């Protein structure tokens, strides 16, 4: 199923993959404790997750659409190319933006690595899903 040249199934699957990764990344299994300490929160003080979760779904969808558009424009169809471009987008576009925010806001290296690690891996995962289902 396509819309404006984008494979909607691949975009939705990539969005879901990004959300699943985020759920795991920020869970007690991986980085929840370190992330919460970095933002000075506890499970009791984090508040209701409804609005942040809606925003995260929208952000994940927009990222999946963006990756899909870039792949379409560049003609990415092979897994190797998807991995290469996904890592390039994550490491050379997203990471520097988060680095700049981090430096100006003084959030610390730990938070930078947690946040950017998730974003880079999310884009990589979305890239693989999009090319696999495309």
Q: Is 45 contained in some domain?
A: no
Q: Is 82 contained in some domain?
A: yes
Those residues with Cβ within 8 angstroms of residue 52's Cβ, 6 or more apart along the chain or in another chain: none
Q: Is 14 contained in some domain?
A: yes
The number of folded domains in the chain is 1
> Up-side HSE of residue 122: CA atoms within 13 Å toward CB?
30
pLDDT the model gives residue 17: 98
Cβ density class 50-86: b for 16+ within 10 Å, e for less:
eeeeeebeebbbebbbebbebbbeeebeeeeebeebb
The CA–CA distances, whole Å, from 3 to 53, 75, 77, 119 equal 25, 17, 18, 25
Q: Provide the residue range defining the domain that includes 68.
A: 2-40+50-133
Give the global pTM. 0.93
pLDDT the model gives residue 134: 84
pLDDT digits (tens), the chain, 134 positions: 666 778 999 999 999 999 999 999 999 999 999 999 999 999 889 888 899 999 999 999 999 999 999 999 999 999 999 999 999 999 999 999 999 999 999 999 999 999 999 999 999 999 999 999 98
């Amino acid at each position: 199923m396509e819309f404006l040249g984008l494979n909607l199934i691949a975009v939705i699957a990539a969005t879901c993959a990004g959300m699943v990764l985020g759920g795991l990344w920020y869970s007690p299994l991986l980085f929840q404790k370190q992330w919460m300490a970095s933002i000075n929160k506890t499970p009791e003080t984090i508040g209701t997750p409804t609005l942040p979760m809606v925003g995260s779904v929208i952000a994940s969808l927009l990222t999946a659409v963006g990756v899909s558009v870039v792949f379409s424009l560049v003609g990415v169809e092979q897994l190797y190319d998807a991995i290469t471009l996904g890592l390039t987008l994550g490491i050379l576009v997203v990471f520097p933006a988060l680095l700049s925010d981090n430096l100006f806001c003084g959030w610390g290296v730990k938070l930078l690595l947690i946040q950017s690690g998730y974003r880079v891996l999310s884009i990589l995962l979305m890239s693989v899903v999009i090319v696999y289902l495309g």
